Chain A
Amino acid sequence: DAGITQSPRHKVTETGTPVTLRCHQTENHRYMYWYRQDPGHGLRLIHYSYGVKDTDKGEVSDGYSVSRSKTEDFLLTLESATSSQTSVYFCAISESPTLNTEAFFGQGTRLTVV
């Protein structure tokens, strides 16, 4: 299995509080992605990174920010959590999306905002 871990695996938080999810890889892959998965919507891209300090928005980026200060870590922050952000969050890594290479996923973080 690829070396990718997400933390925490489960979290319950209150509306309005900040939350940070961490994705850590040991594969030295350049590309990292944050997705959320909700019933009926599949996996939707939140933000992605194509290198240290290089990030861009995905299709559902509102309310989320990211940071990548080193290759191995990609942080997803909910500045002020809302109930609509209750979801399962997956991090993925890829060596190069242009070379038909596999993307590896973390085990997911189940976030509940109450």
Chain B
Amino acid sequence: RKEVEQDPGPFNVPEGATVAFNCTYSNSASQSFFWYRQDCRKEPKLLMSVYSSGNEDGRFTAQLNRASQYISLLIRDSKLSDSATYLCVVNTVDSSYKLIFGSGTRLLVRP
């Protein structure tokens, strides 16, 4: 089983739609959680960290459920420019300092 799993998509939604992605992680010792965005043929860039209480940044809301070991990303009022791959990232600090990526969820926002 992969340490971090995501639905690969693609999610194909119209402009203005609300879309949600989930990500599950297997290691209960995981401590830090992030969502990264990756545009085609570019490097990943941080979208937002995910905090235990949940957090919001404009149209983006991230939530963490430690009991069920999943994190989510909600995008409201989708824009064409939101089209990208969204990567779930988990850091596990047990005896190591690994940043583990999910395989990504592809989002396509159509006019």
Chain A residues at the B interface, C-beta cutoff of 8 Å: 31, 33, 35, 40-45, 48, 50, 56, 58, 90, 92, 94, 97-100, 102-103, 105-108
- Contact A43-B87, Cβ < 8 Å, known A48-B97, A100-B32: yes
Question: Within the complex, which residue of A31, A99, A108 is in contact with B43, where a contact is CB–CB below 8 Å?
Answer: A108
Question: A43 — which chain B residues lie within 8 A by C-beta?
Answer: 44, 87, 101, 103
Question: B87 — which chain A residues lie within 8 A by C-beta?
Answer: 42-43
Question: Within the complex, which residue of A56, A103, A107, A108 is in contact with B96, where a contact is CB–CB below 8 Å?
Answer: A56
Question: CB of B49 within 8 A of chain A?
Answer: yes
Interface pair B91/A98, CB less than 8 Å apart = yes
Interface pair B97/A98, CB less than 8 Å apart = yes
Interface pair A48/B43, CB less than 8 Å apart = no
Interface pair A106/B43, CB less than 8 Å apart = yes
Chain B residues at the A interface, C-beta cutoff of 8 Å: 6, 8, 31-32, 34, 42-46, 49, 51, 87, 89, 91, 93, 96-104
- Contact A90-B44, Cβ < 8 Å, known A42-B87, A97-B91, A97-B93: yes
Interface pair A58/B101, CB less than 8 Å apart = no
Interface pair B43/A100, CB less than 8 Å apart = no
Docked CA distance A105–B99 (Å): 12
Docked CA distance A108–B96 (Å): 24
Interface pair A42/B99, CB less than 8 Å apart = no
Which residue on chain B has the smallest CB distance to residue A31?
A: B97
